[in-house]
Amino acid sequence: MMMKGIMSRISYLYLIGDFVVVLFSFIKGGYWLINTQTAFISSMLIVFASFYAYKKSIAKRVESYGGEEFREASDELEDPYNLFDEEDDDKKTKKTGVFRYTIKGFASGIGGAINPIRILAYGILILSFFYLTRHGLFNAFAFFTGLSIVPILSMFSSIRDKS
């Protein structure tokens, strides 16, 4: 329930930021509106696809581990060199090895990175860029302004939530 409230608050923040950019686009004129909105929509698709892919990846990991086993596995990922463990570090490092932890961490994150929905979202971004370029509508500054709305507002949102 708490996550739903956070997501709706962030969504409203993105829409308010986009509204400001739309007003600015009307002032600038030209092809600013189509460039900023195409980039903004593509950026939002990428963010939501990434969120969905990683949420699905975490749910799968939680499902595959039990309650206590999952905590132990997450501790391994957070502290692969056993810096905060009071057990004998030499025995555990010899038994498992550093290379195993590296592969394990990479394998656990690759599922979210190569998710088909996320790849489709990046494909939409690339196709929209090529469409605008081919038809002579592309304005680089306007396009990158539209792309930067989501990361900038996410940064400010996280800074505000921490304080």
Model pLDDT for residues 147-157, shown as the tens digit of each residue: 999 888 888 87
pLDDT of residue 104: 59
pLDDT of residue 50: 86
pLDDT of residue 65: 65
Number of domains in the chain: 1
The residue segments making up the domain with residue 120 are: 2-162
What average pLDDT does the structure give for the chain?
Answer: 76
Confidence of residue 30 (pLDDT cuts 50, 70, 90): confident
pLDDT tens by residue, 80-139: 566 555 554 455 444 455 555 566 556 666 666 678 888 999 999 999 999 999 999 999
d(CA 50, CA 46): 6
Cα first-last separation, the chain: 22
Q: Which one has a higher pLDDT value, 46 or 8?
A: 46
> b/e map of 2-33 (b: 16 or more CB within 10 Å)?
eeeeeeeebeebbeebbeebeeebeebeebbb
d(CA 36, CA 50): 21
Give the whole-number percent of the chain exceeding pLDDT 70: 62
> Is the pTM value of this prediction over 0.85?
no
> b/e map of 46-84 (b: 16 or more CB within 10 Å)?
bbbbbeebbeebeeeeeeeeeeeeeeebeebeeebebee
